[in-house]
Amino acid sequence: MTLQQLLYFLAVADTRHFTRAAEQAYVAQPSLSKQIRALEDELGAPLFSRARGNVALTAAGEALLPIARRITSDVDTARLEIAELVGLRRGRVRVGATPSLCVSLFADVLHRFHEEYPGVELSVEESGSKDLVRALTHGELDLAVLTAPERGEEAALTTTPILRERLVVASAEPLGETVALRDLRGRPLVMFRQGYDLRDTTLHACRAAGFEPRFAVQGGEMDAVLRFVEIGLGVAIVPSIVVGGRAGLHAAPLRDPVISRTIALAHRTDVAPTHAARAFRATLLTHLHTAALPEGVTLHQP
């Protein structure tokens, strides 16, 4: 019994006509009939009755019909699965991430994915969440790990919260076990450039505490901001994840209020992620659930 014979059998069973079945199967009618007879010989029973020009399934044909459909369906499924796996030998995934993640755990995720799918090209954009949202909606990224909006969802995106990041005050000299936000009144701050959600978070928090922040310098990227703090230009409100391992920095968690933010995985709602993008998502989530997370970072709890 061959797969081709089963396909011919199904074609005749569906059309109840040998000539039309041959046309549907793109084969000469004598060849199709020969294969059906060979299948009947193999099974030891006729599959069709051909009385007075009418083609009908015999009892043996009725018994074979659901089995043949299941076999051919399983073969189709296998082909699709293998085709997707073969596709992951090549391809591209365009991902974006906030700077706090790029300088910390995101590198481990990229390494893990590259080891599993070495033929897939990885393209990474490091930027603030506003810029990542713009890149996603313009079709420039497949996935992004960004700060979830606190005030409503971005309609064009599907977001899945994955982490919580606590914000701290980074400084060149110790400021204490914790720092109240009001204690930053009058203290020079090192501020991120426009487009960083951390900039907006800091401004909103200070104004809610009743003061306007004073900037020592502004306009930097993450690495620049941390370096400016290290040399004593001012302090900065940053995620705790970026301070670890930098000997020249001290971190004091914020209090009154405690400030944290939700990190989400996002993609365009109207475009289904590619198989490679789905594989990257799975690698990321597996890493987050199996790796030791940096201090101040926890898995999101619904």
- Looking up residue 220, the CATH number of its domain turns out to be 3.40.190.290
CATH of the domain at 155: 3.40.190.10
Same domain, residue pair 141 and 283: yes
Identify the sign of the CA torsion 14, 15, 19, 24: negative
pLDDT of 150 reads: 61
Same domain, residue pair 37 and 172: no
Q: Is 15 exposed, middle or buried (0-12, 13-18, 19+ CB in 10 A)?
A: middle
First to last CA, the chain: 53
Same domain, residue pair 96 and 232: no
Per-residue model confidence as pLDDT tens digits over 8-62: 999 999 999 999 999 988 889 999 999 999 999 999 999 999 877 789 999 999 9
Please state, in angstroms and rounded to a whole number, the distance separating the CA atoms of residues 183 and 235: 12
CATH of the domain at 37: 1.10.10.10
User: 257 preceded by cis ω (within 30°)?
Assistant: yes
Same domain, residue pair 142 and 169: no
Pick the last residue of a domain from 43, 67, 86: 86
Residue 47 identity (one-letter amino acid):
L
pLDDT of 63 reads: 94
Same domain, residue pair 256 and 278: no
- Residue 254 contacts residue 181 (beta carbons within 8 Å): yes
Same domain, residue pair 156 and 216: no
Same domain, residue pair 132 and 218: no
Structurally, the chain folds into a number of domains equal to 3
Same domain, residue pair 191 and 154: no
Same domain, residue pair 185 and 234: yes
pLDDT of 59 reads: 94
In this prediction, the residues of the chain whose per-residue pLDDT falls under 70 are: 77, 79-88, 150-154
Torsion angles phi and psi, residue 132, rounded to 5: -70, -40
Same domain, residue pair 189 and 251: yes
Domain region containing 47: 3-86
DSSP string over 6-75: HHHHHHHHHHS-HHHHHHHTTS-HHHHHHHHHHHHHHHTS-SEE-GGG--EE-HHHHHHHHHHHHHHHHH
Q: Assign 208 to helix, strand or coil.
A: helix
pLDDT of 285 reads: 93
- Residue 277 contacts residue 143 (beta carbons within 8 Å): yes
Per-residue model confidence as pLDDT tens digits over 60-96: 999 999 999 888 888 876 766 666 666 667 778 899 9
pLDDT of 190 reads: 95
Burial readout 69-88 (b: 16 or more C-beta within 10 A, e: otherwise): eebeeeeeeeeeeeeeeeeb
Tokens of 81: 């699965």
Same domain, residue pair 269 and 243: no
Same domain, residue pair 75 and 108: no
